[in-house]
Structure 1
Amino acid sequence: MSVSVHENRKSRTSTGSMNISLFHKPSHPDSVLTHLNTLRKQCMFTDVTLWAGDRSFPCHRAVLAACSRYFEAMFSGGLRESLDNEVNFRDSVHPEVLELLLDFAYSSRVIINEENAESLLEAGDMLQFHDIRDAAAEFLEKNLHLSNCLGMMLLSDAHQCKQLYELSWRMCLVHFEALRDTEDFYGLNKDKLLNLILSDELEIEDEHIVFNAVMRWVRYDLDGRRDDLPELLGGIRLALLPSECLIEAVACEELVMSDKRSRQIVEEAMQCKKKILQNDGVVTSPCARPRKAGHTLLILGGQTFMCDKIYQVDHKAKEIIPKSVLPSPRKEFSACAIGCKVYVTGGRGSENGVSKDVWIYDTVHEEWSKGAPMLIARFGHGSAELENWLYVVGGHTAIAGIFPASPSVSLKQVERYDPLTNKWTMMAPLRDGVSNAAVVSAKLKLFVFGGTTIHRDKASKVQCYDPLENRWAIAAECPQPWRYTAAAVLGSQIFIMGGDTEFTAASAYRFDCETNQWSRVGDMTSKRMSCHAVASGNKLYVVGGYFGTQRCKTLDCYDPTSDSWNSITTVPYSLIPTAFVSTWKHLPA
């Protein structure tokens, strides 16, 4: 057919109307790939040969470049390989693994199994077959268990597989005691071991287990690891050991006492322990900070929304038992734990007056004392501990001259309490004033989620405070406007749950405070507005709240490794929870 014939046909058939038809053959991509694969196997039109070990693989540059940014850059970037007819990976990629990657490139299919998954992940990451890397990581997530979790943690960390890393990391924290005698454990480098023992989420209640694990790890390669001992000792909560154990097992350990830095660490732990047991001031040393698995969960509440008691959650008996009576009953307050003490701030008393009061409960000696009053009377605020300071954020105060107290607009003011000096200081104000917001600390910053704005609307922003700069910034938008939610922290993940609408009341989300990204997690077992949440070990606990006329009567637990909720126990009918904290347990004498 000549050009003129086609032009004549165009002019003859054109009517000026849009008489068109789209032809689409869905099987065309598969058909093309199948034929390209046939051409590859027959070495037809191939223009590059890949070598792995002693095997060669003739390929088409265009196909490789279309599947992998690695090959696209190699063939188009002026590198030597862009001109050569061969690319030799030598022993950096196993021939069988390279063959699987090429089969995927030419067929969009690959079989992943236990024998090849790790190698496919490594090669997929190296050669930037990211779909293969992610598929292999997903396969390994489903096949994660005690015998491979340490290896998976190292593998996923090296190849930026965040979900696999998070799951394997948590499994290592949960099963540290079982893993400490394995070859994979002894093969850890110092930094990874230090990260594990430094974690508050390490599920160990007997710190002697951690000490023994560290000593065995050092002795496994004594000449190469002796100098690592002081830094590792600093990651152990030595002040949590019983005095007898601290003296006999630690202070008499030759490896420890033969090193000056190690001796100093042990002596500091002994002083910390003595100080806590004698109630001699505030102890903030890391060696005395219990891990979350060794925390006590305390519920503050009463028969009405007026809180007058503290209750303790007994995990083993699955009971909630009365612990202490609040000296001054109140509602709409905030509670936060620092070390062995619970700080109850502000709120409204029995006559509805707004309070500046600060009541402090010492869980070791079971005593109440009064702290310096806040600078601003407030209720409906949030509080959180950050670097052993207590921050109080937002809320309402009373409009001057009106009694009973009428709430002001939501506050921007933030103040900080120093337990050592018993003094309050005003800090940088919030970007947007809020009340009834979820306030937590994570990764050395404060985060405020949602709340009620000065216009009485639901807030939709995540406000973040950097204490080094004394400055607030907007970190992200919430998935939806929120108030009356609860928040709790596991590592760099902040979990937000509940709310005051039909759509938010049962929902739960995870916020990564390092990337400021949101993801949805499993819904709670019931709808909850004004619920309260804490983290303990590697799990989250939620209590209280209501929706409509229905009170939530269960203490529920969320396991992030299985993304599932279950009820732990029933809250006594006479108890309406108004705050929930996780505080240090009694230290062994």
Structure 2
Amino acid sequence: MNERNYYYPSEVLLELNAMRDRAELTDVVLEVEGRSFPCHRAILASCSPYFRGMFTSGYVEAKQERVSIKDVSGVAMATILDYAYTGCLQTEPDQVQAVMSAARLLQVDFVGREAAGYMEDHLDVSNCADVLMYADMLGDSALVQASEDYVASSFHQVALQPSFLQLPLPLLQSLLNREDLMTSSSDNIVQTALRWIEFDKEERLQHLPELCRCLRRSFISSDQLVELESKCPPSDDKLVYSNSTTQRLGQVQTTMQIFLREGSSKHHSQQVALCYDPSTGELHALNMPNNLASFSVTATPDDKLYLAGGLSSITSQPIRQKAFYQYNHLPNTWEPRCDMGSPRVRCGLVYLKGYIYAIGGDDIKQTAERYDPSCDEWTPIPAIPQSISSELCAVTLDDCIYVISKEGCYCFSTTENKWNKMADMHKPQTCPQAVTYRGIIYSVDCNKDKGWTWVEMYKPTNCVWERSGLRTFNKVNLMKHKETMYLLSVIKNNDIWSQYGESAFKICIYQYQPETDFWVGLEDKGRLVPPIADWMGSRRGRVIACLSARMVPMFLGDEFDYEEFLTDDEDTSGSGNSVGGGSDNHLSDQEDSDEDTSGGGWESRSDDYDI
């Protein structure tokens, strides 16, 4: 007979752990910070080379009944003993560092690796400098690398943290020498070096010449050079700077338009969004999290991108997700952050004064919560007063968050921490999309399938909605680019055009004139939006956001293949051709001039009017 009891190892561990609890047949007691831990030497030696050496050598501890363990906290020892007797590792987040230190001392490799992995996965702006110093002290090269990478990817924000000023000189030099610092100006790097010196000027001023060798003179402003020279100790020679003429990664960021659409590409293993560079006319692939649809994305003023919620596409029954991600420009990937408190889909996601807010999109469509990037933590805020069953959008203005939905509009004051009912719109919007522009909120129904739809604007000064001067087509999107606001409208080409290989759809572009409340029709020759009319007009998913953010072209996907992506769509049969350049994607000066324009407020204009 040759049989095996697969439950036996776990049953033995379970019984040994019970014997430890009863102090039965234990043969050593570990004394740690005034706490006593009865244990079995054989168990300790089996999981820890440190204890195996202690108990099998000629050390005095080999014969002692009570052994004192130094440099280990009681909580950390309890955690490691629980692992030794159960195979399970459980600890509170604020104890991970202590557990990792104990695991390194006691040579419990699994615990050490898992603790390091946890810290790497939970790096944030507030802790990455501390983790970097800790990893450097332990000599954990992998964690040092991960921490330095995180600091580089968020350099501008991390450099303002108090813990950053505690960095030792070698670590600071290593960071300042990196090519991939995500900061838009070399002057920011200079100011960081000067803040580090001022933190302990008497001790650190002597290191100014060493730090200057990390600073690239060709990119430093004359004012900053004067300030650096004024700090130089009189006894030192003239400061010497780096002669590198390579821009840091953050300095090569360029403003791009990001077009997000529901649905995914059947022909791409990686789900992507379109990222367009108007300065070059190139369209890139922005990688998106796979197996996720109907998510929400927002961009911060410092060009950080956050993604929240969505529907899981790996199950037969779509499920709302608590998932929350932050975009990392360097590898073109989305990195998980702390999950939201509630699962959401198509929530209102906005940034306001250092925090990210997620509003609605849950089962009851009214709860809300706030995310603090500095500590990677969500906290609930008051719920919207009314249940919202339809789609909503959220925008920010001053200290408030404005939520627009078919059921009504509401305003959340972050200073008062409460919601107030706003005035109703002239016509409720089933799928609102809104932007703030020059202190006014503009909103449009972007899912209007037929007929005209109005842009409505809300002025907080008089607390009413007014119709802006435009009636436009179906499938519309508002977009801000630099200091201007535009409206994109997708219309279907006439059949006679389709016979000659033209695109099935075309994009009409209107530029807003705030002084006259007019929307001017423009002809775009590839300077504002890419020729993606068929993609935007497809029934298979709709554009859900047009964001503007400074991106790093070299780290995005290769220039996009229009033809391959458009084969996913089901309603491009009008032409069957890819959407490329050419006049077919340009708005003619008098397009649809026979339509009723009695509402006023819009006009066509030639491309002589610059975008």
Give the TM bin, normalised by the shorter chain: 0.3 to 0.5
Report the TM-score when normalising by structure 1.
0.43
Report the TM-score when normalising by structure 2.
0.42
